Amino acid sequence: MDKYMQLRENKDKYIIDFYAPWCPPCQVVGEYLKEIDGYKGVKIYKVNIDESKDLASLFNITSIPTLIFVKDKMIVKTINGLVPENSLKQEIEKNF
């Protein structure tokens, strides 16, 4: 839950990437996020659902990859599944 407390206190704009290392679509999205990290000041937080089951449960994660966009401590967008890199950038533009 330490990671949750870090996220909860964060007032910046960020994306939480819920993933698992055995999930091929998660690996693809993870590569996109490496390219996007820092774009428009957006931070990326990665949460391995196998290691942080409590955090995944808290956010009601039922499928992976799941990206949660947070701005000013509020969830502004949730994306489930594999998303193209250009769509991800468009969502960042739209939500941040």
What pLDDT is stored for residue 3 in this prediction? 58
Out of 23, 56, 61, 92, which one is annotated catalytic? 23
Contact 34, 6 (CB under 8 A): no
Average pLDDT over residues 53-73: 93
Positive/negative CA dihedral, 40, 46, 52, 57: positive
What pLDDT is stored for residue 5 in this prediction? 55
Catalytic: 26? yes
Catalytic: 47? no
Contact 81, 65 (CB under 8 A): yes
What is the distance between the alpha carbons of residues 68 and 44, in angstroms, rounded to a whole number? 10
Out of 26, 47, 55, 67, which one is annotated catalytic? 26
Q: How far is CA 86 from the centre of its chain?
A: 16
What pLDDT is stored for residue 8 in this prediction? 61
Q: Which domains does the chain have, with CATH numbers?
A: 2-95 (3.40.30.10)
Task: Name the pTM for this structure.
Answer: 0.88
What is the distance between the alpha carbons of residues 52 and 50, in angstroms, rounded to a whole number? 6
